[in-house]
Amino acid sequence: MIIVLETVIALARVFAGHVPGLIGLLAAGPLLACARCSGRATALVALYACALAAVVGAPLMMTAMTLVVGVVAVFVSVIRSRREGALIRINDRVQRAILRPLPAEFGGVAFASHYRSATKQALVGGDLYDVAMTQYGPRFIIGDVKGKGLEAVGRCAAVLAVFRELAFTEPDLVNLATEMDARISKDLEIEDFVTVILADFAPGRVRIVNCGHHPPVKASAGPAELQLMSPAQPVPPLGLHPVPACQDIALEPGDRLLFYTDGLIEARDHQGRFLDLCQQSIAEALTEPDLDVAIQHLVGLLVEHAGGRLTDDVLLVLGQPTATEPASGPGHLPDSISRR
- Residue 227 DSSP label: E
DSSP output for 276-307: -TTSHHHHHHHT-SSHHHHHHHHHHHHHHHTT
Phi, psi of 206, rounded to the nearest 5 degrees: -140, 135
226 & 246 share domain: yes
- Asked whether residue 333 is domain-assigned, the answer is no
Phi, psi of 24, rounded to the nearest 5 degrees: -65, -20
Residues linked to residue 199 through DSSP beta bridges, in sequence order = 140, 208
113 & 69 share domain: no
Task: Give the per-residue pLDDT at 60.
Answer: 81
The total domain count for the chain is 2
320 alpha carbon, distance to own chain's centre: 23
Q: Who contacts 106 (Cβ-Cβ below 8 Å, separation ≥6)?
A: 131, 133, 138
- Residue 215 DSSP label: P
- Asked whether residue 28 is domain-assigned, the answer is yes
- Asked whether residue 97 is domain-assigned, the answer is no
Of 101, 140, 108, 104, residue with least CA distance to 291: 104
Task: Give the per-residue pLDDT at 79.
Answer: 93
* Contact (Cβ atoms closer than 8 angstroms) between residue 232 and residue 255: no
Q: End of a domain among 91, 123, 158?
A: 91
Domain hosting 31: range is: 2-91
147 & 250 share domain: yes
121 & 215 share domain: yes
146 & 83 share domain: no
- Asked whether residue 193 is domain-assigned, the answer is yes
263 & 232 share domain: yes
- Asked whether residue 338 is domain-assigned, the answer is no
81 & 114 share domain: no
192 & 214 share domain: yes
27 alpha carbon, distance to own chain's centre: 39
Q: Who contacts 234 (Cβ-Cβ below 8 Å, separation ≥6)?
A: 212
Task: Give the per-residue pLDDT at 26.
Answer: 79
CATH number at residue 223: 3.60.40.10
For residues 22 and 65, what is the distance between their CA atoms, to the nearest angstrom?
Answer: 14
73 & 173 share domain: no
pLDDT tens across the length of the chain (340 residues): 777 777 877 777 667 666 556 667 778 888 888 888 888 898 998 888 888 888 877 778 878 888 888 899 999 999 998 888 887 777 677 767 777 788 888 888 999 999 877 655 545 568 899 999 999 989 999 999 887 666 777 788 889 999 999 999 999 999 999 999 999 998 888 788 999 999 999 888 999 999 999 999 999 877 767 899 999 899 999 999 999 999 999 998 889 999 999 889 888 888 888 988 888 889 899 989 999 999 999 999 998 998 877 777 889 999 998 855 544 444 333 333 332 2
- Asked whether residue 340 is domain-assigned, the answer is no
20 & 124 share domain: no
- Asked whether residue 165 is domain-assigned, the answer is yes
Q: Which phi-psi region, left, alpha or beta, contains residue 17 (left: φ > 0; alpha: ψ -120 to 50)?
A: left
Q: End of a domain among 66, 91, 116?
A: 91
Q: End of a domain among 91, 117, 146?
A: 91
Residues linked to residue 247 through DSSP beta bridges, in sequence order = 208
Q: Who contacts 161 (Cβ-Cβ below 8 Å, separation ≥6)?
A: none
C-alpha separations of 108 from 38, 43, 164, 253, 274 in Å? 49, 57, 19, 12, 34
183 & 256 share domain: yes
162 alpha carbon, distance to own chain's centre: 21
310 & 168 share domain: yes
- Asked whether residue 303 is domain-assigned, the answer is yes
